[in-house]
Amino acid sequence: MNKKSPAGLYIHVPFCIQKCRYCDFYSFPKGEEYFEIYKKRVIEAIDFYGKRYARPYNSLYLGGGTPLLLGEKHLSDIMAAAKPYLTPDAEITAEGNPGVSERCDFFALREAGINRLSFGLQSSDEKELAALGRIHSPKEAEETVKAAQKAGFDNISLDLMLGIPYQTEESLCKSIDFCDSLGVQHISCYMLKIEEGTPLAKSELRFLCADEEKSADFYLLACEELEKRGFEQYEISNFAKGGKRSFHNLRYWLDDEYIGIGPSAHSFMEGRRFYFDRSIKDFLEKPFCENEKEESSGGGWEEYAMLRLRLSDGLDVSELESRFPEVSGADILENAKPFEKPGLLRIKGETVSFTPKGFLLSNALTAEILFG
């Protein structure tokens, strides 16, 4: 197995205490009665795909939902099942929400092999949190991070949302200060997208969300303030200190391979993209092969280039040509030149990379650069 290049492993845990108003992820409130059967099925899937592809995993990401809700016993069992397939240096992340410090033993999670945590803070403002339907307070967030640090976690990420109800430039800066004061190594800043069918989309609160122009202002402000505090932007929405980039998330933008386990989870292996339906019933009852839905073939040059342009490191056209000889790097550089003077991108040698302003227009710019 170890002769093959490592892939990534994603495990979706769809359980939450309460669904947030803006959330469109496949998740729902469920109790302990579901945890045991779900854990067993995940363990079966780990073994099935581990044997099917015979690939080591150098990253494992437990996402959700709220994976830490499973508790240290179930998570330790999942980690034990995954261990034979993991490289010794694997980055292993578990997501959770602030306020879980009383529900989860962080020392036990470290012992199980989890070495990175990501918490959904979203804001440090009480009013903004309430509008989003979050059930934690800033104080609980602080206590959760400190409890994790006390247990030895030195790679912690916090999520912030931009353009949310009641947010101002001042409150955004306070939220960034709050994150920095806790000594975390990673911050993800996402612009709120109001998804159809969510409670927020049906609420009067939607009229208090920032419009496109104001959201862009918040994004540029966040980029500027995070840079002042030593957070390097390495992807459209992600910022890290001390080289603590999320290795697992990076693999998506580097077009690397990964297996996704659980309802709504996606995979990219051996040039094939497939996914599981948003159905816990199907995941628990159907054979894995029968439950796989074909998405598309993957690994083409357009996909590779598009994903690379999401990164602050940008797209090296010489690497692109080496991997895809049919592509003209010179044409891409020529297409990119008009956008350099307005400050939307940088061209350094044979590398094209977006600035924060460019990231705001990345979809349109990417099409212009790649196809003219």
- Taking the C-alpha atoms of residue 363 and residue 309, their distance in angstroms, rounded to an integer, is 10
User: What pLDDT is attached to residue 372?
Assistant: 85
User: What pLDDT is attached to residue 1?
Assistant: 41
The pTM for the full model equals: 0.94
User: What pLDDT is attached to residue 22?
Assistant: 87
pLDDT score of 98 more than 70: yes
Please state whether 26 falls in left (phi above 0), alpha (psi between -120 and 50) or beta: beta
pLDDT digits (tens, 9 = 90+) for 9-58: 999 999 988 888 888 888 888 777 889 999 999 999 999 999 999 999 99
Across the range 293-303, mean pLDDT stands at 85
pLDDT digits (tens, 9 = 90+) for 71-89: 999 999 999 999 999 999 9
Across the range 353-361, mean pLDDT stands at 97
Q: What is the dotted CATH code of the domain comprising 7-252?
A: 3.80.30.20
Across the range 195-223, mean pLDDT stands at 94
User: What pLDDT is attached to residue 117?
Assistant: 97
In the CATH scheme, what architecture does the domain 301-371 have? Orthogonal Bundle (1.10)
Across the range 86-102, mean pLDDT stands at 90
User: H-type helices in the chain, by residue range?
Assistant: 32-53, 71-82, 106-112, 126-132, 138-150, 169-181, 199-202, 212-228, 247-253, 280-285, 288-291, 301-308, 317-323, 329-336, 356-360, 362-371
pLDDT score of 102 more than 80: no
Cβ within 8 Å of residue 218, ≥6 positions away: 162, 163, 167, 169, 172, 191, 210
User: What does the domain layout of the chain look like in residue ranges?
Assistant: 7-252, 301-371
Mean pLDDT of the chain: 94
